[in-house]
Amino acid sequence: MSNQGVFAREKAETKRYRYVFNMTLVISVFALILLVIPVVALADRNEEKYLFLVYIWLAVMGVYIIVISVLGVAIAKREIREESEMLSKMIIDSNSIPPEEYCATDNFSNKVFYFDPKSFRCEEQEYPYEKYNIHVVPMSMFRRVRIHIEISEKSSGIISFSNQFDEKPLMRFELSASLLRVIKEYELEVLDKDIIDYIYSNPRNAAQEILKYGTIKSHFLGFRQMMKDQQKNL
C-alpha cells in the first residue's frame, strides 16, 4: 500500500477527534522546531537584546506540553469509553440475534459464512468445527478495538496470537454480536476463550487493555509463559 493509501485509510478509520489531535500535534511540533531556529540565531547574535525571546519560547513550550498532555489524556479516556460501549452493545445485541442471522463475512474472500450447531458453511462447502482451530485475535488499529475470529486447520500448527507464525489462517471474521451468540449458544471450542470471557465480564477493561497493549494483558502473559514452558520441554 502506498503512503497516500496509508494516510487515506488512517483518515477514514481514525475517529475524527483523534485524527485532528494527531495532525495538530505534528504541525505544532514542527512549527515550534522551526520557530526555535531564528530565536536561537538572534540570541546568539545579540544575547543581551534577544535572550528574552528564548525565555518566551521556553514558556510557550512548557504551556504547550501541559495542554497537549491534558488533551491527550482526555482523548484517551473518551476512546476507552466509546470502545467499551461498542463491546457492551455487541454483548447486549447478541442476546437477540435470530438463528437465520448466525453468519459473518470472511475478510479474505468477502464470502458470507453461515454457522450451524455442528459446522459452518459457505455456498456448497461445509466445514465441521471439529476439524478447525478457532482463535480470538484482538488488536488496536487506528486507536480502535478490533477483534478477529480466525479459523485454521488443526494440522496447520497455527496457535493463539496467529501472528507468531507466518502461516495465514483460512478465514478471518470480525467479532460481531452474531459470532458472540454462535460461540455462546453452540459452546464452540475456542482456543482463546479467556478473551471472550474477559470481554463479557469487563468490557471497559478489555477495551482499555486492547487499546493500550494491542491484546488482553492477562492472555498475553499466559501465552508467553506457555511458550517458555514449551521451549523448556524441547
The CA-CA-CA angle for residues 227, 232, 233, to 5°, reads: 100
Sign of the C-alpha dihedral, residues 173, 178, 184, 185?
negative
How far is the C-alpha of 105 from the C-alpha of 152, rounded, in Å?
A: 16
Contact call for residues 179 and 151 (beta carbons, < 8 A): no
Paired with 59 in beta bridges are: none
Q: What type of residue sits at position 7? A: F
Q: Find all residues with CB under 8 Å of 158, minimum gap 6, and list them.
A: 133, 135, 150, 152, 165, 167, 169
115, 108, 110: which is closest to 177 by C-alpha? 115
Residue 191: band (very low, low, confident or very high) from pLDDT cuts 50, 70, 90: confident
Question: Strand pairing of 125-128 and 132-141?
Answer: unpaired
As a whole number, the mean pLDDT across the chain is 86
93: region left, alpha or beta (phi > 0 left; psi from -120 to 50 alpha): alpha
How far is the C-alpha of 15 from the C-alpha of 124, rounded, in Å?
A: 39
169, 166, 160: which is closest to 227 by C-alpha? 160
9 has a pLDDT exceeding 70: no
The CA-CA-CA angle for residues 7, 9, 13, to 5°, reads: 120
> 88: part of which helix (H) or strand (E)?
helix 47-94
pTM of the entire structure?
Answer: 0.80
Contact call for residues 151 and 132 (beta carbons, < 8 A): yes
Residue 162: band (very low, low, confident or very high) from pLDDT cuts 50, 70, 90: very low
Question: How confident is the model over 38-57, as pLDDT tens digits?
Answer: 998 998 888 888 889 999 99
Instruction: Give the start-to-end residue ranges of the domains of the chain.
Output: 3-94, 99-233
How far is the C-alpha of 83 from the C-alpha of 79, rounded, in Å?
A: 6
Specify the pLDDT at position 165. 46
Specify the pLDDT at position 163. 45
How far is the C-alpha of 115 from the C-alpha of 100, rounded, in Å?
A: 9
How far is the C-alpha of 104 from the C-alpha of 182, rounded, in Å?
A: 10
Contact call for residues 152 and 143 (beta carbons, < 8 A): no
